[in-house]
């Protein structure tokens, strides 16, 4: 019963002191995936089809790793330089109120 009550009222003894804007990471996942795929497509566009799949898979794995690395670096740099261009969410921060003070 206590767990249900706490789940219903998670701010018991706390007041919202304000909000912090932070990047909404779940919404940026698709952007990182699309960027990685675009880099991979551009880098492998002129590859000739290969009949030996073992060699092709090794080369492709290296290209996938490189594309993901490049896309991650670009996203990280953009997050540092201009964070406001990405989706943001407001995360509340809490402060104690009179209910939280023990006597």
pLDDT digits (tens, 9 = 90+) for 84-100: 777 778 888 777 776 65
Residue 60's pLDDT band, with cuts at 50, 70 and 90, is confident
Is 95 within a domain?
A: no
Residues for the chain: how many in total? 103
Is 12 within a domain?
A: no
**Predicted TM-score of the model (pTM):** 0.58
Task: For 15-27, write each residue's pLDDT tens digit.
Answer: 777 887 777 777 7
Query: Helices marked H in the chain — which ranges?
Result: 2-8, 25-44, 53-81
Is 35 within a domain?
A: yes
Give me the domain span that covers residue 59: 22-45+54-88
């Amino acid at each position: 019963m206590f767990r249900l009550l706490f789940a219903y009222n998670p701010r018991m003894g706390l007041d919202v002191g304000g909000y912090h804007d932070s990047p909404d990471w779940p919404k940026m996942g698709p952007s990182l995936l699309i960027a990685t795929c675009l880099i991979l497509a551009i880098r492998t566009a002129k590859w000739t089809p290969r009949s030996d799949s073992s060699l092709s898979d090794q080369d492709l794995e290296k290209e996938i790793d490189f594309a993901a690395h490049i896309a991650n670096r670009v996203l990280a740099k953009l997050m540092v330089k201009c964070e406001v261009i990405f989706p943001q969410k407001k995360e509340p921060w809490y402060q104690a109120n009179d209910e939280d003070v023990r006597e």
